[in-house]
Amino acid sequence: MREIIFDTETTGLDPQRGDRMVEIGCIEMVNRVLTGNTFHAYFNPERDMPAEAEAVHGLSAAFLADKPKFAERAAELIEFIGDSPMIAHNAGFDFGFLNAELAICSMEAVCRSRMVDTVALARTRHPGAKLSLDALCTRYGIDRSHRTKHGALLDAELLSQVYVELRGGRQIGLELAADQREEIVTVATVRTDRVFRPARPHEASETELAAHAEFIKTLKAPLWSTEAP
Beta-bridge partner residues of 29: 3, 34
In terms of Cβ atoms closer than 10 Å to its own Cβ (0-12, 13-18, 19+), residue 116 is middle
Task: List all residues 6 or more positions away from 123 whose beta carbon is below 8 Å from its beta carbon.
Answer: 131
Cα distance between residue 205 and residue 194, in whole Å:
30
Tell me, yes or no, if 146 is annotated catalytic.
no
Separation of alpha carbons 168 and 216, rounded Å: 67
Q: Per the residue annotation, which of 57, 126, 150, 212 is the catalytic one?
A: 150
In angstroms, rounded to a whole number, what is the distance separating the alpha carbons of residues 87 and 6?
Answer: 6
The catalytic site residues sit at: 150
